[in-house]
């Protein structure tokens, strides 16, 4: 029996270890329980919000440039659903829309988490809390702006949800979403420091002001748009002298970069540079591979005049197989974003730059009847592009409002090509049916013929379809589909 | 009527049969570890006792305890139930025994520490024996028969029972196997019986001398089976357990121990998905039931749960048991849902040291497609390439009559350089070549004084048939058992091993084999290998030369692993034992990768390194109680187990292009990347309490019930504990009196079981909302931002599998035919998996417990001994049918779909097998421009692509036309092992067959010529090339430019059924006459051929019908059945020898 006693002692002591074995804490993983405690935690959480945009942005062209006349599919089909977007065959099942929706809402979630926890820390430096809140609001507004322009009214999520809540939340109206955006941006303008008070790659007062002005353009509130766009000037932004300099890593933090997402070559780079490179690479950039996921459409290509400095900075027409002495071949490709380290490029991607603000301001002024001032703004961009005033427009060139829209859209196309503006510009000006019914893709310089393609844009294309997957995840009949899908 | 003694029976049994399994049995060693004394010493030992009117067996047991001797006797023949008295004061054992036994006409014989009791030869008649009469004794006096009984090896068998049929008279053999008996007449029949051997009946027929050899009863019902925390007699099992004994398993030339088990176990599917040296096969027991929490079985090595076959040398294995139903696995509770595989290693044998050497050398020969299956280089290759490129040009609207080369009007990407018609290299042959393998195992086992030992060493070196791949393994093992006192036994086990693996290409073989025939494998004078684009800058594939890849990639993994355990077993009271053990598994692994500049696309050397460390300890404490009273037999265990696992990983990456020179390959020669380098740690713990009762009434009615509860750190505090009960019953119908008359049926057992097991194989701490890295670089400064990476779910709990099993066991014709049938239904509930949730929540999925998956099936195990005499032939056949379906997905979803970028989808849908293929069905090929109008097509579809079936007949092809197209799981799999023996020759043939699995063989695409690559004829024959060459209407144009309209159909789905002769082993044992002179017990040479023949379906175009590059089922986004280029199967020829001293 002594043995039994001994054993029961052993056993009962082992009971204690059972708790030690089971009640364990994570060693290398942060959890909601131990994060969002300090000012530094909150700062990192805000960087997490930027991180989401940083990862989405390099492929935004697949949603916003692919359906336009700027791009067409190559033979290398790595991205599922891309050809359908290219040919305006929009389907609710398309993964491109789904990924865009999911990533953007994840960004919103991260911003909501920051706003939800912003009062937790007590060790903020002076002004830090305001700055962080302003950044989270700016980013949330930016994400919603992308969503509302793409899908129309979407579920309005302005705080962290439970899974249950997320299944029963219906779409808000477009107006409600815009209200959220305007509110957030107004607050952000108030809270954010000016550019000199922060670093490049983080939102500033100027960025929030510019974005708010742009939002009012979409709301067709021309006066408010003008007011905010005009305020941007007071923060010291301006056009860089040489258009090509905008696309150099060495010149990233320039006066035109109102808000650009930062990348570092290698360690924090993107693949946009590689996406448009010819499949077999480009000498000195990527010696053996390129994405060649999409090629530059002749519809865009032909718009560039030879003397336009933006042409060479946007498109490279001739190519030779790297490592060979083959003669140069006609093989136009987008070279705007080419960077030395193509597979992990450090080239920043602009979200809103001063040239965009200038063109938007021009538009607002014209709509307000201030045509002369409108042309002055438009010509600022052209003067830079043509290294002089030779190609400036005069009032005499613009016979009608429609014609103004023609030159404005052309200018936006040439200036902001592949910067994800074209689709929204066509939609908001109602030009998309006219422009996209017939597009030109490839071009054969020997035969001097372009490949004409007939598409069938429909009014319903104004909105992308709500991803079917997301409709299915919600409870039945909670999320309605857009008209026409 | 078996020999029965105070424990000694077990020793005898142990020696002859099951050796070490029994060591795990908690109740059979109670008295068996007396020290061996020399006979005389033992008999001279002085003892004192005083017993009055006690049963004979009690008296013998007492003497045994006092003297250390153990007795061996037949209870019937010495009538051990009769009461006797004995009294002695400090007398020698010898005199006490004489005093006790002489009056009873019982003689005794001592040998080592055993004492054999027999009835006095000179007086077979025992007046006290019921049924005997002096009269008959006289009448028989004339017929005196002497003889000898030997075992199958010719060794004398002591203690064999000899009974005169129809009487209760009998005799026992002595230590030299000899006997002498008086029989009533020439017609008398003698029945020879002995535990573990087949009984034999012999008619005397006037002979005065009978020499007889007893054959071991391989399938004896007394066979012991290792179950969780103990052993059980096979006859008293109530659940579905399959067992394989290591007879020749260690003679199969294979790098991994699992390979030897292929085709040998019903319900257990072992698929060798990759053929790289050291690659682990996938084991699935009774169908997959889990989506995210792993379907791997729990591997228990000598009681240590959570081991791995990679740490096992098959030579050390005694037997392998698979606990298939939830009832048997429930004792491992939380981790039994994938089934439990118990590996029992060899333990020390009794007596003098025995040396065993097993060694083989072999050669692996890859089973290639062969040169005649490829389009050869030269004009033919040029022509095919031209066709391929013209087809693309035709689609692009070009004029294909333009010259292929030298005409500016033809766009560059549609030209064909004539240079590609030069050279004829076959890359399959260059990269895959026969490679040697060798394996040397030595083991010594024996006992000395109070210790028993088994020690072994093994070296294995396997070169892969894939150039430069290699797997080397060094294993040691020591299993030691110590008798500290008659009541305390202790044991120690360690098994350190070290492996080195070189795997020199990442991912899929197609990237290398697809190289066009004009590409030379020759090293250039400048130290470079040519690339396809050195021949022709345009259009051809941009890759590097495969030789640069395999020769320039230096990827090594070194792993040290040791499973070690110590245990002590105390005998507390009669029948009550307590065993406590402490074990640990420690594992270190380091990986070094270096790719020379020539390997990489951007011509920059790259490198990385990683380390991992796992320390896992376990403490188990088990009380066990065994008691037999009358016809009742009771076996109870209760125990507690605690396990803790700590892991650490470290990774180092270098910044691209920073290697300072190509001389030094370690990372001190480069700049370390800040984002790719880290260390991280994690841990999990499991505490468990369990108990089990086995009850057996009269060997007829068997009952077993168990309950285990587990607490795991992987679940939230409120849901940590799971309870896993089981119950099973069996009825041995053949033991019933009414069944005695049934001729031919020796054993009929019906059994039924029900049990629940769990699964906790999700990541650590997933119940917590975790915060992950979200790096950003504001101001060009890299900063580690943070963002939530998962939703917390404190509700997370155990995934549970409840299953029932109904089985019949049948033994026919003296157990020469044994049949086991099982039907099972296995339902996995509360599936742990990542369900999709609305993205507006912030996440697209979160891990929850919802959904049910059911596997139903039946199994047949049939073993027959077709010939048992000089020519022996045994057959073991097994058959498994399994049907899997998703019963519910929970969370309101009725299907979950995940898609490959090339269009194939995998669906989880209620009522359908999990991860079924889901895509369009191909109805033909759009062969003519008219077809493009006459049939519904998808937008942008090209002529020559697949004509889809318009399933819903709505006149268009939409996602609604997709249908379920089969799945990756075989419906039926079978195995058959035939063993033959004749004189000194023996032959084993093991076969395996699998029917009904489908593979999405996307690999084909790479052999169809995209961007100028090799053409594999079976994949390109009869394709659509142009409206003038429309093919046979069954093979669409497979060009990259149109592939999305091909690969989203069932065109690449292939029937992966096969029949394989997995192993042939032919052995010759040198006759004992010769070996005895050399003082060798046994010397056997063998020739072993693995994967001797594989019969594949005619439509199957890959190398290996089990070869999948996708990692099976591992989460909701799994794409099981997808093959992107696995290696060919190797046929391995090996010559080996097996030597025993």
CB contact under 8 A, B774 and A47: yes
pLDDT score for B16: 38
pLDDT, residue A248, reads 92
The mean pLDDT of B751-763, rounded to a whole number, is 88
Question: The tokens of A348 are what?
Answer: 């920043």
Written as six digits, the tokens of B472 are 């080397």
Q: What residues of chain A score a pLDDT lower than 70?
A: 1-19, 77, 288
- Res. B496: pLDDT tops 50: yes
Query: What is the structure's pLDDT at B895?
Result: 78
Shortest Cα distance from A292 to chain B (angstroms)?
13
Instruction: Count residue pairs from A and B with Cβ separation < 8 A.
Output: 290
Query: Are the CB atoms for B691 and B636 separated by under 8 Å?
Result: yes
Q: Measured between CB atoms, which of B538, B544, B778 is closest to A47? A: B778
pLDDT tens for B972-999 read: 999 999 999 998 999 999 999 999 999 9
What is residue A5's predicted lDDT score, i.e. its pLDDT? 54
pLDDT tens per residue, range B61-102: 888 877 777 777 776 667 777 888 888 888 888 888 888 888
Rounded average pLDDT over B841-854:
88
Q: HSE on the CB side for A59, CA within 13 Å?
A: 18
Distance CA B328, CA B239 (A): 6
Measuring CA to CA, how many Å separate B371 from each of B365, B424, B425, B541, B1016? 15, 11, 10, 22, 10
Cα(A126)–Cα(B739) distance, integer angstroms: 93
Residue B543 has pLDDT above 90, yes or no: no
Interface contact flag, B572 A4, Cβ < 8 Å = yes
Answer yes or no: is pLDDT of B151 > 70: yes
Q: B372: which residues sit within 8 A by CB, 6+ positions away?
A: none
* Shortest alpha-carbon distance between residue A372 and chain B (Å): 39
Distance CA B692, CA B645 (A): 26
CB contact under 8 A, A160 and B842: yes
Nearest-Cα residue of chain B relative to residue A281: B542
DSSP B1016: B
Which three-class secondary structure state does DSSP give residue B342?
strand
Distance from CA of A330 to the nearest CA of B (A): 8
| B787–A75 C-beta distance less than 8 A | no
Residue B132's pLDDT is what? 45
pLDDT at B546 > cutoff 80:
yes
Q: Are residues A7 and B572, on separate chains, in Cβ contact within 8 Å?
A: yes
How, if at all, do strands B1122-1123 and B998-1001 pair? parallel
B141 has pLDDT over 70: no
Distance CA A55, CA B993 (A): 48
What is the model's pLDDT at position B29? Answer: 27
For an interface test with B, which of A91, A163, A327 has the most B Cβ atoms less than 10 Å from its Cβ? A163
Q: What is the pLDDT of residues B353-369, one digit of tens each?
A: 889 999 999 999 999 99
| pLDDT of B669 strictly over 90 | yes
Q: What is the pLDDT of residue B8?
A: 38
pLDDT at B275 over 50: yes
Residue B31 has pLDDT above 70, yes or no: no
ipTM for the predicted complex comes to 0.93
Contact A29 B765 (CB under 8 A): yes
Chain A nearest CA to B1037, separation (Å) = 15
Name the residue among A3, A160, A268 with its Cβ closest to that of B572.
A3
B908 φ, ψ (degrees, to nearest 5): -110, 115
The gap from C-alpha B1019 to its chain's centroid, in whole angstroms, comes to 34
The winner for highest mean pLDDT among A81-90, A281-290, B642-651, B951-960 is B642-651
Give yes or no for residue B23 having a pLDDT over 90: no
CA distance A203 to chain B (A): 10
Q: Which of B656, B771, B842 minimises the CB distance to A32?
A: B771
Interface contact flag, A91 B959, Cβ < 8 Å: yes
Chain A: residue whose CA lies nearest to B891: A473
Chain-wide mean pLDDT for chain B?
A: 85
Kindly report the backbone phi and psi dihedral angles of residue B1126, in degrees, each rounded to the nearest multiple of 5, phi listed first.
-90, 165
Among B379, B18, B520, B424, CA closest to B223? B18
What is the pLDDT at residue B136? 46
Please report the pLDDT score of residue B891 as a whole number: 65
Q: Say whether B899 and A266 touch across the interface (CB within 8 A).
A: no
Q: Which of B674, B765, B779 sits opposite A267 (nearest CB)?
A: B674
CA within 13 Å, CB half, B755: 36
From B682, B687, B771, residue closest to A22, measured CB to CB = B687
First to last CA, chain B: 35
Can you give the pTM of this predicted structure? 0.80
CB contact under 8 A, B842 and A323: no
pLDDT reading at B121 higher than 60: no
- CA B698, CA B736: separation in Å to the nearest integer? 10
B1072, B863, B1073, B1069: which is closest to B981 by C-alpha? B1069
Which residues, listed in sequence order, are joined to residue B285 by a DSSP beta bridge?
B268
Contact A47 B776 (CB under 8 A): yes
Q: Shortest Cα distance from A32 to chain B (angstroms)? A: 6
Q: What phi and psi, each to the nearest 5 degrees, are found at residue B775?
A: -75, 140
pLDDT given for residue B981 in this prediction = 92
Lowest model confidence (mean pLDDT) among A97-111, A171-185, B199-213, B844-858: B199-213
The CA distance from B263 to B265, in Å, is 6
- Which has more pLDDT, B950 or B150? B950
Tokens representing B787 are: 């963002």
Q: Do A23 and B713 touch (CB under 8 A)?
A: yes
The mean-pLDDT minimum among B209-218, B804-813, B988-997 falls in: B209-218
CB B939 to CB A89 under 8 A?
Answer: yes
Question: Are β-strands B298-301 and B224-227 bridged in parallel, bridged antiparallel, or unpaired?
Answer: unpaired
Closest CA–CA distance from residue A2 to any residue of chain B (Å): 9
Backbone phi and psi for residue B153, each to the nearest 5 degrees, phi listed first: -95, 5
Q: Give the whole-angstrom CA distance, residue A250 versus residue A274.
A: 19
Q: Which of A76, A155, A268 sits opposite B675 (nearest CB)?
A: A268
Higher-confidence residue: B682 or B226? B682
Please report, for residues A226, A286, B527, B664, the alpha-carbon distance to residue B552 in angstroms, rounded to integers and kept in the order given. Answer: 62, 21, 12, 13
Q: Identify the DSSP state of A154.
A: -
Q: Do A262 and B655 touch (CB under 8 A)?
A: no
Average pLDDT over residues B615-619: 93
């Amino acid at each position: 029996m002594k043995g039994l006693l001994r054993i029961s002692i052993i056993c009962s002591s082992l009971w204690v270890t059972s708790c030690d074995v089971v009640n364990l804490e994570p060693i290398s993983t942060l959890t909601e329980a131990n994060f969002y405690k300090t000012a530094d935690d909150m700062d990192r959480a805000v960087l997490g919000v930027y991180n989401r945009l940083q990862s989405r942005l390099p492929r935004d062209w697949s949603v916003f440039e692919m359906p336009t006349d700027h791009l067409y599919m190559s033979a290398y089909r790595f991205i599922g659903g891309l050809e359908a977007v290219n040919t305006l065959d929009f389907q609710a099942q398309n993964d491109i829309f789904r990924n865009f929706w999911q990533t953007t809402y994840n960004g919103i979630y991260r911003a909501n988490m920051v706003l939800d926890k912003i009062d937790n820390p007590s060790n903020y430096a002076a002004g830090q809390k305001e700055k962080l809140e302003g950044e989270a609001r700016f980013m949330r507004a930016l994400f919603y702006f992308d969503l509302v322009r793409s899908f129309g009214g979407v579920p309005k999520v302005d705080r962290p949800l439970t899974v249950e809540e997320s299944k029963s939340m219906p779409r808000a109206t477009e107006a409600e979403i815009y209200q959220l955006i305007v509110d957030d941006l107004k607050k952000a303008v108030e809270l954010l420091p000016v550019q000199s008070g922060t670093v490049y790659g983080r939102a500033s007062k100027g960025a929030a002001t510019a974005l708010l002005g742009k939002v009012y353009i979409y709301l067709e509130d021309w006066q408010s748009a003008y007011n905010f766009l005009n305020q941007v000037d007071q923060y010291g932004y301006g056009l860089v002298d040489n258009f090509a300099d905008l696309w150099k890593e060495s010149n990233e933090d320039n006066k035109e970069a109102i808000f650009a997402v930062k990348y570092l070559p290698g360690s924090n780079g993107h693949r946009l540079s590689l996406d448009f490179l010819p499949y077999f690479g480009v000498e000195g950039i990527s010696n053996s591979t390129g994405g060649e996921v999409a090629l530059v459409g002749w519809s865009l290509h032909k718009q560039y005049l030879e003397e336009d400095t933006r042409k060479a900075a946007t498109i490279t027409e001739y190519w030779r197989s790297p490592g060979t002495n083959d003669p140069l071949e006609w093989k136009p490709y987008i070279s705007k974003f080419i960077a030395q380290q193509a597979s992990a490029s450090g080239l920043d991607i602009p979200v809103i730059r001063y040239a965009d603000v200038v063109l938007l301001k021009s538009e607002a002024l014209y709509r307000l009847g201030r045509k002369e001032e409108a042309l002055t703004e438009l010509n600022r961009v052209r003067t830079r592009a043509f290294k002089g005033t030779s190609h400036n427009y005069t009032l005499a060139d613009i016979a009608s409002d429609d014609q103004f829209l023609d030159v404005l859209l052309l200018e936006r196309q040439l200036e902001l090509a592949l910067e994800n503006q074209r689709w929204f510009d066509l939609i908001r000006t109602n030009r998309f049916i006219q422009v996209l019914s017939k597009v030109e893709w490839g071009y054969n310089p020997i035969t001097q013929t372009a490949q004409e393609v007939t598409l069938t844009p429909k009014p319903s294309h104004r909105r992308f379809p709500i991803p079917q997957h997301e409709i299915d995840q919600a409870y039945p009949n909670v999320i309605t589909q857009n008209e026409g899908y | 009527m078996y020999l029965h003694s105070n424990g000694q029976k077990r020793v005898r049994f142990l020696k002859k049969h099951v050796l070490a399994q029994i060591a795990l049995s908690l109740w059979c060693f109670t008295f068996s570890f007396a020290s061996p004394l020399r006979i005389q010493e033992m008999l001279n030992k002085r003892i004192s006792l005083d017993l009055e009117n006690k049963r004979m067996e009690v008296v013998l047991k007492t003497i045994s305890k006092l003297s250390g001797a153990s007795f061996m006797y037949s209870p019937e023949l010495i009538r051990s139930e009769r009461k006797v008295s004995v009294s002695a004061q400090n007398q020698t054992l010898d005199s006490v025994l004489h005093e006790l036994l002489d009056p009873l006409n019982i003689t005794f014989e001592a040998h080592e520490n055993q004492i054999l009791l027999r009835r006095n030869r000179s007086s077979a008649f025992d007046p006290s024996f019921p049924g005997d009469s002096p009269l008959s004794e006289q009448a028989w006096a004339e017929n005196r028969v002497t003889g000898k009984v030997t075992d199958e090896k010719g060794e004398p068998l002591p203690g064999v029972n000899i009974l005169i049929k129809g009487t209760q008279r009998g005799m026992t053999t002595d230590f030299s196997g000899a006997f002498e008996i008086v029989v009533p007449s020439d017609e008398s029949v003698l029945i020879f019986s002995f535990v573990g051997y087949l009984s034999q009946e012999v008619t005397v027929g006037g002979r005065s001398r009978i020499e007889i050899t007893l054959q071991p009863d391989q399938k004896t019902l007394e066979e012991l089976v290792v179950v969780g925390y103990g052993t059980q007699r096979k006859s008293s099992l109530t659940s579905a357990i399959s067992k394989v004994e290591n007879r020749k398993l260690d003679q199969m030339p294979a790098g991994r121990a699992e390979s030897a088990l292929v085709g040998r176990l019903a319900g257990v599917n072992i698929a060798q998905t990759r053929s790289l040296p050291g690659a682990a096969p996938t084991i699935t027991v009774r169908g997959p039931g889990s989506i995210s929490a792993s379907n791997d079985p729990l591997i228990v090595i000598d009681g240590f749960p959570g081991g791995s076959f990679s740490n096992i040398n098959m030579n050390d294995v005694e037997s392998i048991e698979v606990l298939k139903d939830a009832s048997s696995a429930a004792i491992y509770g939380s981790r039994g849902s994938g089934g439990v595989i118990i590996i029992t290693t060899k333990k020390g044998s009794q007596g003098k040291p025995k040396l065993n050497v097993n060694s083989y050398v072999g050669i692996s020969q890859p089973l290639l497609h062969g040169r005649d299956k490829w389009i050869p280089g030269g004009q033919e290759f040029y022509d095919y390439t031209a066709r391929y490129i013209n087809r693309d040009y035709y689609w692009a609207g070009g004029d294909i009559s333009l010259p292929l080369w030298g005409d500016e009007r033809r766009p560059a990407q549609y030209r064909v350089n004539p240079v590609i018609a030069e050279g004829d290299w076959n890359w399959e042959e260059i990269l895959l070549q026969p490679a040697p393998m060798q394996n040397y195992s030595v083991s010594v086992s024996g006992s000395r004084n109070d210790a028993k030992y088994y020690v072994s060493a093994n070296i294995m070196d396997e070169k892969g048939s894939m150039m430069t791949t290699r797997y080397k393994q060094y294993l040691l093992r020591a299993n030691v058992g110590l008798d500290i006192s008659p009541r305390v036994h202790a044991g120690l086990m360690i098994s350190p091993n070290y492996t080195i693996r070189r795997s020199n290409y990442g991912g899929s073989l197609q990237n290398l084999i697809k190289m066009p025939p004009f590409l030379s494998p020759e090293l250039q004078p400048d130290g470079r290998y040519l690339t396809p684009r050195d021949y022709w800058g345009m259009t051809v594939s941009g890759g590097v030369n495969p030789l640069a890849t395999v020769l320039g990639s230096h990827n090594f993994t070194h792993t040290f692993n040791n499973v070690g355990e110590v245990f002590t077993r105390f005998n507390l009271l009669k029948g009550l034992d307590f065993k406590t053990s402490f074990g640990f598994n420690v594992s270190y692994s380091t990986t070094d990768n270096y790719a020379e500049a020539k390997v990489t696309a951007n011509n920059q050397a790259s490198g990385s390194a990683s380390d991992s460390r796992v320390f896992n300890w376990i403490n188990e404490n088990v009380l066990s109680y065994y008691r037999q009273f009358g016809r009742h037999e009771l076996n109870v265990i209760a125990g507690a187990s605690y396990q803790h696992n700590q892991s650490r990983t470290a990774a180092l990456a270098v910044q691209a292009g920073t290697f300072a020179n190509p001389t030094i390959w370690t990372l001190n020669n480069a700049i370390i990347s800040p984002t790719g380098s880290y260390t991280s740690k994690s841990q999990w713990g499991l505490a468990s309490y369990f108990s089990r009762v086995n009850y057996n009434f009269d060997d007829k009615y068997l009952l077993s019930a168990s309950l285990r509860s587990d607490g795991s750190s992987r679940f939230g505090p409120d849901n940590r504990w799971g309870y896993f009960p089981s119950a099973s019953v069996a009825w041995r119908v053949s033991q019933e009196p009414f069944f005695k008359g049934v001729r031919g049926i020796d054993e009929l057992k019906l059994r039924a079981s029900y049990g629940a097991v769990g699964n906790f194989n999700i990541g650590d701490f997933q119940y917590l909302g975790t915060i992950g890295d979200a790096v950003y670089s504001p101001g060009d400064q890299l900063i580690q931002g943070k963002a939530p990476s998962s939703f917390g779910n404190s509700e997370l709990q155990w995934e549970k599998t409840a299953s029932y099993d109904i089985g019949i066991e049948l033994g026919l014709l003296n157990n020469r035919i044994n049949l086991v049938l099982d039907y099972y239904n296995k339902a996995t509930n509360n599936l742990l998996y990542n369900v999709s949730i609305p993205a507006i929540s912030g996440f697209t999925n979160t891990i929850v417990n919802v959904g049910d998956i059911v596997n139903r099936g039946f199994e047949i195990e049939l073993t027959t001994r077709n010939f048992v005499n000089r020519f022996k032939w045994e057959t073991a056949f097994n058959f498994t049918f399994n049907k899997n379906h998703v019963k519910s997905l929970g969370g309101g979803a009725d299907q979950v779909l995940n898609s490959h970028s090339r269009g194939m989808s995998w669906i989880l849908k209620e009522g359908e097998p999990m991860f079924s293929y889901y895509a369009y069905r191909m109805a033909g090929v759009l062969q003519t421009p008219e077809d493009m109008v006459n049939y519904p097509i998808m937008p942008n579809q090209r002529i020559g692509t697949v004509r889809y079936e318009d399933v819903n007949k709505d006149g268009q092809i939409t996602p609604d036309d997709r249908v379920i197209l089969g799945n990756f799981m075989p419906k039926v799999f079978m195995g058959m092992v035939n063993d033959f023996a004749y004189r000194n020759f023996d032959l084993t043939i093991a076969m395996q067959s699998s029917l009904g699995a489908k593979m999405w063989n996307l690999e084909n695409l790479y052999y169809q010529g995209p961007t100028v690559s090799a053409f594999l004829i079976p994949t390109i024959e009869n394709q659509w090339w142009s409206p003038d060459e429309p093919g046979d209407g069954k093979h669409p144009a497979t060009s990259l430019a149109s592939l999305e309209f091909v690969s989203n159909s069932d065109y690449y789905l292939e029937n992966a059924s096969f029949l394989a002769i997995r192993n042939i082993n032919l052995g010759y044992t040198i006759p004992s006459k010769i070996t005895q002179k050399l003082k060798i017990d046994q010397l056997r040479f063998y020739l072993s051929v693995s994967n001797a023949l594989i019969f594949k379906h005619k439509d199957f175009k890959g190398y290996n019908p089990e070869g999948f590059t996708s990692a099976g089922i591992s989460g909701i986004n799994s794409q099981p059945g997808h093959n992107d280029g696995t290696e060919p199967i190797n046929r391995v020829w090996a010559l080996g020898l097996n030597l025993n001293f």
